[in-house]
Structure 1
């Protein structure tokens, strides 16, 4: 892993100033020299146009870097006067670091759109090359103050740390992923990274952020892997973690406040204190059926088609077990209930005659509703489960259309678990 700095240099009339960062100071005309002094990089890349290369600024900066014994490399870039030139600059920026490099970006002497382009390049690099974006610096000369009464001409210039703004873009991207897919693992990762940075680099000691980050990841993994009866407890734990972390989120992660509020609204309907192994009392089973009904609708909204079909089938079996007061987690009972709904062979029909009649307590309309829904659902589920490896497979468009209509198909049965 190399420690690198990426800077820009233009043709401006840069004035000597005393740049400050934390408790450090450095007097120079060129902010890249201050960054080099503070960071001590393995490599310093200076991006400049042909005009900047031929300007006295470049010769002066080279002399200063050589005096500091900083290894540097100049990178020629176009003026950025067209879209194609901007893409060329972007490609050169993202081509500089290697995977796992630690980057400090200095945008102080960048001109026109270069600072914005560089920020976007850093977001891209964090995702594609897994680089560690350590700092984004801006030497804010416009925020200068007089250094002292003895040298009023030498300004004292603060250095702004802009890294959180890149993190903000990542939070926005993670939020978009969650809202569209239900996957909150990236949000969990960002929370845990922020928590680690607070403890390691900023001297803060948050107590609730890690639990919240882990809760987001855990619930997302449970939902993705169709652990339906684990969802209520995991959702309850997450809602509790969100409530406990509210103050620390507002303190350390203000941009995440509205994002995590959306998370709470999405997951709160899935939260119930009934544990995964508490599926014996009818009221507990009914509670789980309600949660799974909510989850089914979310799978459809999130376009998780396979999960939606798989859950829908098991939900119908659980619903009938509940109606017939049968153990919902007994494998043999569930298989027998499925055969009652749709006997597919003479052996199935014979077994049903010898077995309990699970439909005996239902009136004719209810029986018709269960068996009708089961028939439509079974065809769709088999088509999905066999991955289309049949001569008469549905088209993807047809399968998705039917999955999107699942809640309408199941709604007559869902009325039984509603108040």
Structure 2
């Protein structure tokens, strides 16, 4: 790395590269490595040894992990050299880095691997930092898919976009736009802006298609293409123009499914209630926006009649609507009033009841083509 002042130690080479910036060198050392290199390395560079076992047992592996974590102070910026790790040590180091980022707020500046070819006069370093970023992308995408939490993914997309303009080569043009479009969809889902969620999903799909061109020409970001593909799978079923068309009702059913998947039960039961009102409007040929109050009054009246006598005059689908309306209204009230009423359901039981009722509403939606007055596209 420094032809005029060569060194056999990657640790010394790295410290020379970064010493003006005030970095502190810590070196993990097994007993064997300490006997062989401790004094020789100390003659060349100032460092702090961190004793670790050889890692021949699971208990020793955990001791190595804990030694790494304990040696890094809170909020530190970290450059990790994994050149001399052997067996499982590099994997442990990577696991420790991820743990440190969360638990101690550590910021990873670089993860480096030094290599030397005997036929060449000097060694060099591979920068492995982007493979850690790939793990972050993966976890961020999982957060989105499983929990509906897209904040970290949106932040990473913007970072990749910005980073491409700090280096030579192709520039990202649409990755930041994906993050912005994702914001709109998830905000609309959280706040139950139905029409906005469906139209924003359409917009996001367009940005994802354009972003695939960015990913294809940015080698370090190519794996992100697979993750963007998962996002397309997630949001494609939500894309629709008219919420009250057959396509729009299907999209709302998928929206309901997504809210359940991500355990947003309060939003799910609220949407289920509104879908029942929409179905009555469609069935009765009422305007699904202007005459929602009429539909609610119709449902409430039918509930009262059903309690007084058997409503054999109603068809089976109308009876299911009425029954689900009664269940949905009760569950939605339990959620909306924060259990501030007599005999509120426990959280686990309430969540299960919401799932059951919402799935019944989705099943009813799938039969919507039998409802008279359905608007066709």
Could you state the TM-score of these two structures normalised by the residue count of structure 1? 0.76
User: For residues 207-226 of structure 1, what are the structure 2 equivalents within 5 Å?
Assistant: 207-226=173-192
Match for residue 48 of structure 1 among 9, 25, 29: 29
Tell me the residue number matched to 2:329: 378
Which residue is 2:93 aligned to? 118
Q: Considering fraction of residues, name the structure with more strand.
A: 1
Mark the runs of 5 or more structure 1 residues left unpaired by the alignment.
1-18, 67-71, 148-154, 350-362
- Match for 1:63 among 18, 27, 43? 43
Residue pairs, 1:142-291, within 5 angstroms: 144=117, 146-147=119-120, 155-201=121-167, 204-252=170-218, 253-274=221-242, 287-291=247-251
| Structure 2 unpaired stretches of 5+ | 306-312, 371-375
For 2:271, the equivalent position in structure 1 comes to 311
**Superposed displacement of residue 296, structure 1:** 0.6
Q: Greater helix share, 1 or 2?
A: 2
Structure-2 change in CA distance of 1:161 and 1:318 (3 Å) = same
> Does the Cα contact within 8 Å between 1:50 and 1:76 map onto a contact in 2?
yes
Deviations 1:45-103 (A, max 9, x none): 11213443333x2222222225xxxxx32222233333233223222322344454321
User: TM-score of the superposition, structure 2-length normalised?
Assistant: 0.83
Question: Does the 8 Å contact 1:289/1:417 carry over to 2?
Answer: no
SS, match of residue 108 in structure 1: coil
Q: Deviations over 1:331-358 (max 9, x none)?
A: xx54453233115999xx9xxxxxxxxx
Q: Is the 8 A contact 1:101 1:132 kept in 2?
A: yes
What is the CA–CA distance in structure 1 between the aligned matches of 2:167 and 2:103, rounded to whole Å?
Answer: 25
* 1:190, distance to aligned residue in structure 2 (A): 1.8
In structure 2, distance between residues paired with 1:209 and 1:232:
21
**Does 2:88 align with 1:106?**
no
Q: For residues 25 and 104 of structure 1, what CA distance do their matches in structure 2 show?
A: 24
Give secondary structure in 1 for the equivalent of 2:83: coil
Answer whether contact 1:285 1:322 (CA < 8 A) is retained.
Answer: no
* Deviation of the 1:232 alpha carbon: 1.4
d(CA) in 2 for partners of 1:85 and 1:290?
A: 55
* TM-aligned CA deviation for residue 212 of structure 1: 1.4
Q: Deviations over 1:12-50 (max 9, x none)?
A: xxxxxxx48xxx996211011111112224211112134
The runs of 4+ residues in structure 1 deviating greater than 4 Å are 201-204, 284-287, 322-330, 343-346
Q: Pick from 241, 244, 262: which aligns with 1:302?
A: 262
Change (3 A) 1:160 1:221: same
Provide the C-alpha distance between the structure 1 equivalents of 2:106 and 2:169, rounded to a whole number of angstroms: 24
Offset at residue 261 of structure 1 (A): 0.9
